Amino acid sequence: MRITSLKLSVLALVLVAFAIVPTASADTVTNYDLFVGTTQVATAAVSVGSTCGTGNICVTITGVGGNNVRTGGVTVGLSGSNLSGLSLTNPSWAGTIGTTNCPGALLGGSASLCFNTTGQGANGTPNQITFVLTGATNQTITGIGIHVAGPACGNSPTCFTSSSTPVTPPTVPEPGTLGLLGTGLVGIAGLVRRRLIS
């Protein structure tokens, strides 16, 4: 009876331990804060992993402070290395998407790949846009800029983001947690073995 009770206690402890271990995310997400001067106008979430497929990057840009993304002409620009192989697919806004020359005001002149929008629905100002970049990894992109419409532009109807700063999300101590769990289970197993022998 005592042995059965001990086994049930150990089993319950193991189940509780597994329940509190955080689930590892399949995707790596990097966040960017986009600015016009010193005014933040948008955030961009860049996701790499199972959601987008191998070699793809999912991007979601959301306007803040009443500022929106203008989807006419130059819509989004990227800075980084080896960007020439990037293609933009599955945009959440209407119109034809193509590459274009980057305006000097976008990302402070550091944008090296820009996408423009033409055609039906191209002159909208959605609060949020999403798209997928194919043929790249997360490490390729170092900055994101957008064509802005909103109060940050002052007297101008539209303007461009001058900078974007990566915001590193807090790391989840997954390996350390699993290590502690494993050490605890080994200790419990030793305790059970000692009780059974005695």
Give me 75's structure tokens: 């819509």
pLDDT tens sequence for the chain (198 residues): 555 554 545 444 444 444 444 444 467 888 999 999 999 999 999 988 878 888 889 999 999 999 999 999 999 999 988 888 889 999 999 899 999 999 999 999 999 999 999 988 788 999 999 999 988 655 578 899 999 999 999 999 999 999 888 875 544 455 555 555 566 666 676 666 666 666
How many other β-carbons are positioned within 10 Å of the β-carbon of residue 30?
19
Q: What is the pLDDT of residues 82-127, one digit of tens each?
A: 888 889 999 999 899 999 999 999 999 999 999 999 988 788 999 9
Buried b (16+ CB within 10 A) or exposed e, 63-83: bbeebbbbbbebbbbbbbeeb
SS3 state of residue 92: coil
Euclidean distance between CA atoms 129 and 68, whole angstroms: 9
Q: Where are the domains of the chain?
A: 28-167
3-state secondary structure of 69: strand
Phi and psi at residue 55, to the nearest 5°: 80, 5
Distances (CA, A) of 18 to 4, 22, 64, 72, 180: 21, 9, 39, 50, 11
Question: 38: which DSSP letter?
Answer: T
For domain 28-167, say whether CATH 2.60.40 is its number: yes
